[in-house]
Amino acid sequence: MAEYIKKLGGTTTVANTTAILYATSATSRAVVSSIAICNYSVTPYLYWLAHIDGPSSAQLDKDWFAFAQSCPASFTACFQLGVTMGISDTLVCKASSVSLAFTAWGSEVI
């Protein structure tokens, strides 16, 4: 098995629509060490983050680890985590505006 330390994913979202930030494949696992949420607007907005055991279509209420959190205007929220992702797991995000950008970094094991 090889470990790759890297940017795992980055995305913006359509307002109030869930987007995939990162997903492991059928042969990989990962540890998400950091997530940054950048609000590049002059208005505060809300964001959501969830780790789903499996594909994103299987999302449950228990999967959210950040729910309707406020991100101030012109601000970047940074989190040091340790989200462990198994085979075919999904990390999703959602925002109340298109003005939030999400980025995840960590280690991928293949």
* Residues 49 and 35: beta-carbon distance below 8 Å: yes
> In which band, very low, low, confident or very high, does the pLDDT at 82 lie, cut at 50, 70 and 90?
very high
- For domain 3-109, the CATH class is mainly beta
Provide, rounded to the nearest whole percent, the portion of the chain with pLDDT above 70.
100
What is the rounded average pLDDT of the residues 45-64? 90
Provide, rounded to the nearest whole percent, the portion of the chain with pLDDT above 90.
90
Domain chopping of the chain, boundaries: 3-109
> In which band, very low, low, confident or very high, does the pLDDT at 36 lie, cut at 50, 70 and 90?
very high
